[in-house]
Amino acid sequence: MIDITFPDGSSRQFAAGVTPLEIAASISPRLAQETFAATVDGQSWDIQKPIETDATIKLHKWDEPEAKHAFWHSSSHLLAAALEQLYPGIKFGIGPAIDNGFYYDVDSPTPITEGDLPKIEQKMLEIAREKHPFVRREVSKAEAMETYTKKGDEYKCELIGDLTDGTITFYSNGDYTDLCRGPHLADTAPIKAVKLTSVAGAYWRGDEKRKMLTRIYGITFPKKALLDEYLALVEEAKKRDHRKLGKELELFTFSPRVGQGLPLWLPKGAALRERLENFLKGVQKQYGYEQVITPHIGMKDLYVTSGHYAKYGKDSFQPIHTPDENEEFLLKPMNCPHHCEIYRSKPRSYKDLPVRLAEFGTVYRYEMSGELHGLTRVRGFTQDDAHLFCRPDQLKDEFKKVIDIVLYIFKTLDFKEFTAQVSLRDPNNKEKYIGTDENWHKAEAAIMEAAAEKGLETIVETGEAAFYGPKLDFMVKDALGRKWQLGTIQVDYNLPERFDLTYKGSDDKEHRPIMIHRAPFGSMERFVAVLLEHTGGKFPLWLTPEQAVVLPISEKYNDYAKKVAKLLNNCDIRTRVDDRDEKIGRKIRDNELAKVPILLIVGDNEQRDETVTVRMQGEGKDRGTMTLPDFAKMVGDLVAEEIRPIAEPMS
């Protein structure tokens, strides 16, 4: 008998060779039906794979990422099985599970188009109903190579060539067999709803010099209702696509003459971005930050010293040459080397620390054209960057202050759901990292304690730290339930060493400061994109490009409308006049579609009484008539409600 320990600490005895699925069934038949994956002793485990020794176990149901990964990985095999039946001679590349579903890269003798997807879906469901078990089998490298050589599948042969003998497994479901490490479902029966979402091209192994394969994306669910819910969210996401809204709201554009991945901010977008920047600058000022400005380029040697050239140089924008053959410049890939040079521009004392340098600095990184996507993946972007240089005894408090800033931003912009990921060093692979054990222990303890003291909901990922130090990443959930990484705080012992940064301590000796990198927004481009999709373009009143629009009911009230707009703009209420020769109903509809929060209707009564009739976005009815001072006070109160003062700013 073996002891199996559950997440709550309880344990039970089972016969050696018991499977996770059998353990689930011993608890309840329903749990067995709902279990799609298992973790045994911290390792992903097939639910039908025997457990031979004492172990800890966690059973995963649909709502957990481990279950969805196994479900969608199994679904990619189901897709491959259907394709093999429908397209004899087809060859297979890779077919992983992804965040939302799965894909398979294939080389088909017959072109596969979007129009073919419904018949492939039907074949998948047909095979799924046959309840084929997923059978795992260990094979030698020679057998694996022979299998796919006979089949004529050069892609699988290439993958096998990279594997170590003794680590290779096949999985079979029905007549289909695939090279795979697992884990998988027990059988195909739970796959009840299938949607193949798109067909795209993908170079084999991401190499533009290799053959272009056909990539088929899909998603599956254990219930049709879940698929229907997902498709409704997809449709809503299309409406909220920041590229679509950015165009409709005239926020930004792209030009092929300027270059791919280089956004052009239009007047409304630039104004919105400026307000975001000023908002963060105001917060930072209360926390003792100093603004700096650095150039968009730097000498190549600067980035060689920092290590960024080794990381970005080969696949980034190439060096800029000047008439002086001894000069080589690079477009700035990061702001931190410049800030290090600012720090070392004068001697520092322990009394000077912490030094907090902030900049909205534009950086440039070459992204492959196929990776570019609106504002979320661009080649030129502005980071809300700051670098803090502190003593070891200041690290924890400085980290907590940065957390305060991030939480204040999330609250102000209505990101209610988020988690914080603490990324630590892999203690069994220390050669990947720089710095002493003592420094790492202090930094990791400071992050963990700071997160706990701030009451953050955290997940800990061992081995995910940057090579120079541990970090804290914030994952927010938007209005559609999608997760985005916004905001990061990183501890760095590397750059102070590379740039020989020092301060004179109270002992009159030179010491090395610790550096904290932080960017609450991440980048202005990505943050605006996420905010657009989160709000559907209905920005908070303080941030929206246009707060109010005055709608004269006919041409003879245009002059009064302009007078109202001028007075309100003088009160810092962003207002324009819609004086088009259109009926008032059309003006109301158009401006509501343009997401303007407040519509001010003016006619004979309003002109006579020097008032406005107020209509709020989405309410469908008027709020009544107000004098201009009363309306200005109402807007001021609404904005004050959205931007509450920081509870305890610390400098």
Find out whether the peptide bond into 354 is cis, omega within 30 degrees of 0: yes
Three-state secondary structure call for residue 123: helix
Q: Which listed residue (132, 240, 339, 387) is catalytic? A: 387
Q: Which listed residue (48, 187, 336, 534) is catalytic? A: 336
Task: For the chain, report the end-to-end CA distance as a whole number of angstroms.
Answer: 61
For residue 486, report the phi and psi dihedrals to the nearest 5 degrees: -130, 115
The answer to whether 336 is a known catalytic residue is yes
The answer to whether 385 is a known catalytic residue is yes
Q: What token pair was written down for 281? A: 């600058």
Integer CA distances (angstroms), 261 to 296, 380, 526, in order:
17, 7, 12
Three-state secondary structure call for residue 598: strand
Q: Which among 314, 343, 117, 74 has a CA at the least distance from the CA of 214? A: 117
Q: What angle do CA 303, 306, 311 make, to 5 degrees?
A: 70
Q: Which listed residue (60, 123, 332, 365) is catalytic? A: 365
Q: What is the 3-state secondary structure (H, E, C) of 5-25?
A: ECCCCCEEEECCCECHHHHHH
Q: Which listed residue (471, 511, 518, 615) is catalytic? A: 471
Q: Which listed residue (46, 116, 385, 492) is catalytic? A: 385
**Which strand (E) or helix (H) includes residue 82?**
helix 65-86
Integer CA distances (angstroms), 594 to 248, 537, 599, in order:
7, 9, 11
CA distance 419 to 528: 20
Q: Which listed residue (517, 574, 576, 595) is catalytic? A: 517
Q: What angle do CA 475, 477, 478 make, to 5 degrees?
A: 135
Q: Which listed residue (60, 77, 156, 383) is catalytic? A: 383
The answer to whether 60 is a known catalytic residue is no
Do the Cβ atoms of 535 and 506 come closer than 8 Å? no
**Residues taking part in catalysis:** 336, 365, 383, 385, 387, 471, 517
